[in-house]
Amino acid sequence: MTSTADERLYETLPNGLHDADLHSFVVDYTKRQLVLEVVAWVSVGEPTELYRPARVTYRDLGFMCIEPPHDRAELNVAESVWIDAGIFDEKDERVAHFEVGGPVNWVFLRDFNSFIFFSAGDVAVEWTGPEEVRS
């Protein structure tokens, strides 16, 4: 059985990109890559949590679609955008019109109340800094 990019992401990041801070993303169409610069939630502890900066690179990008911010969204974001991420069920009506032949990933931009949709064949995570303790 072939694993999806989302499943491979969870092999490195136990919480995936749930409650991560997105600092930037770059789409490189010539390399067919989407690169996210994030601070990912890596563990839960009492009374602190650990976060760690990472570069998440999705390769073999098939398509990407960015929804505009919701009309009531807060657009004055400081340094990062609070995100969640996952993969849509192929039967989900929100992605039924995307004919990509594979899973559709999503990143929910909480501050904008909107999604980034994309398909990718592979994902790699590179740590870019030490763990940070948050209480």
pLDDT in tens, 20-75: 999 999 999 999 999 999 999 988 666 678 999 999 999 999 888 898 888 765 66
What pLDDT is attached to residue 102?
A: 67
Domain that holds residue 119: 5-134
> 101 pLDDT exceeds 80?
no
Give which of 106, 135, 125, 121 is closest to 53, Cα–Cα. Answer: 125
What are the distances in angstroms from CA 32 to CA 2, 50, 86? 21, 31, 20
Query: Which one is predicted more confidently, 95 or 13?
Result: 13
User: How many structural domains are present in the chain?
Assistant: 1
Say what the pTM is: 0.85
91 Cβ neighbours under 8 A, 6+ residues apart: none
